Chain A
């Protein structure tokens, strides 16, 4: 039984973030498909994990820091070469504000 978790507004919002234009039919299709997928995810809750330790990482690694020391790196020139969208040593990007 598919639950109604996602609404048409959610689909429109996600489409906006992804810069995708959708037709009304596509929006309805995706509402249904998104809800089908999320309902299917809930199947995972059927598994009994009562006495199981959560595993976030298979190696006993945590907080692997290193000294904040200056080492050889890429030169500004090498990095600026990667694009033509530069000006006066800066990268030019679309206005975001």
Chain B
């Protein structure tokens, strides 16, 4: 059925209608990974046994009639800079090879509480210090649209996982573009939330006053759904903003007539390819 090609919101709807099982989507996800990832190398490590067993558990609960949690077993790829309890977390560096965090980052806790399931950890520029994922100490991740090109970085592995249907959605981190840039390079939606929106507890830092966990997804509604899950004040993060979180998913329904979007002129200077400029300008006209 190729359930790995679904958008997150469509997958969740199908689970709620009992049209698919969680285990089925994970079978398709891992089949895609087994086929494509030897070449693309988006993943540094996989959480295969746990993911399949959590998927089966969730299917059992759904069959019993338990309330289906908001993410309904959603398969999520996690950039290897985010601490995952019991799963090796390396920041794509040999310095952290073999490091198995004894705790989950807050964003991971939130995803698990909402019923999300972790597929594996994705490749990145070493310690997030790069824009192409080429500086990973372990492997080169290829852009699925053109394997002679980089996927961007530093969240390149997460971008490729989603773009190549090896995940339905992914988390990355963004300090100076590391979610947005690979999203653009791989044709995805990428969002860096406003600083303070998402807890950095358990996220290995690069520039602590700039880092935020961000989302890479197939569509805006998927990103909104994930933001609803991961945003919010966390007392464990002293830079976390104690502000209420909008329902981003319902915000998607609101029109854009009252919005003003600022576009810095400096974005359109020397060095910008004309195809990119045209694509951006056409989108702006469209909006």
Partners in one complex: yes
Q: Say yes or no: B102 contacts A78, CB within 8 Å.
A: yes
Q: Of the listed stretches B109-117, B234-242, B244-252, B270-278, name the one at the interface; the rest are far from the partner chain.
A: B234-242
User: How far is it, in angstroms, between the C-alpha of A57 and the C-alpha of B103 when the chains are bound?
Assistant: 28
Identify which of B196, B235, B238 contacts A58 (C-beta below 8 A): B196
Q: Which residues of B contact A66 (CB under 8 A)?
A: 235
Report A53 CB to chain B, min CB distance, Å.
16
A20 interfacial by beta-carbon distance below 8 Å: no
Report A27 CB to chain B, min CB distance, Å.
24
User: How far is it, in angstroms, between the C-alpha of A56 and the C-alpha of B103 when the chains are bound?
Assistant: 31
How many interface residues does chain A have, given as a range? 10 to 19
User: How far is it, in angstroms, between the C-alpha of A66 and the C-alpha of B236 when the chains are bound?
Assistant: 9
A82 interfacial by beta-carbon distance below 8 Å: yes
Which residues of A line the B interface, CB within 8 A?
Answer: 56-59, 61, 64, 66, 74, 78-79, 81-82
User: How far is it, in angstroms, between the C-alpha of A69 and the C-alpha of B238 when the chains are bound?
Assistant: 16
Q: Say yes or no: A74 contacts B103, CB within 8 Å.
A: yes
Main secondary structure of the interface of A (DSSP, over half): loop
Q: Which residues of B contact A58 (CB under 8 A)?
A: 194-196
Q: Say yes or no: B100 contacts A82, CB within 8 Å.
A: yes
CB-CB nearest 10 A-B residue pairs? A64-B238, A78-B102, A59-B196, A59-B241, A74-B102, A58-B195, A66-B235, A57-B209, A79-B102, A61-B239
**Count of interface residues, chain B, beta-carbon cutoff 8 Å:** 12
Identify which of A56, A61, A74, A78 contacts B241 (C-beta below 8 A): A61
Q: Say yes or no: B195 contacts A82, CB within 8 Å.
A: no
User: How far is it, in angstroms, between the C-alpha of A69 and the C-alpha of B259 when the chains are bound?
Assistant: 45
Report B153 CB to chain A, min CB distance, Å.
22
Q: Which residues of A contact B238 (CB under 8 A)?
A: 61, 64
B99 interfacial by beta-carbon distance below 8 Å: yes
- Residues 182-199 of B contacting A (Cβ, < 8 Å): 194-196
Q: Say yes or no: A81 contacts B102, CB within 8 Å.
A: yes
Report B277 CB to chain A, min CB distance, Å.
26
**Which A residue sits closest to B209, measured CB to CB?**
A57
User: How far is it, in angstroms, between the C-alpha of A56 and the C-alpha of B195 when the chains are bound?
Assistant: 13
Q: Say yes or no: B99 contacts A82, CB within 8 Å.
A: yes
Report B95 CB to chain A, min CB distance, Å.
13
User: How far is it, in angstroms, between the C-alpha of A81 and the C-alpha of B102 when the chains are bound?
Assistant: 9
**Which A residue sits closest to B194, measured CB to CB?**
A58
- 19 of the cross-chain contacts (CB-CB < 8 Å) are A56-B209, A57-B209, A58-B194, A58-B195, A59-B196, A59-B239, A59-B241, A61-B196, A61-B238, A61-B239, A61-B241, A64-B239, A66-B235, A78-B102, A79-B102, A81-B102, A82-B99, A82-B100, A82-B102
Q: Which residues of A contact B241 (CB under 8 A)?
A: 59, 61
User: How far is it, in angstroms, between the C-alpha of A57 and the C-alpha of B240 when the chains are bound?
Assistant: 12
User: How far is it, in angstroms, between the C-alpha of A81 and the C-alpha of B241 when the chains are bound?
Assistant: 34
- Contact digits for B79-113, partner A, Cβ 8 Å, 1 yes 0 no: 00000000000000000000110110000000000
Report A65 CB to chain B, min CB distance, Å.
8
User: How far is it, in angstroms, between the C-alpha of A57 and the C-alpha of B194 when the chains are bound?
Assistant: 12
Given contacts A61-B238, A81-B102, 4 further A-B contacts (CB under 8 A): A57-B209, A58-B196, A74-B103, A82-B100
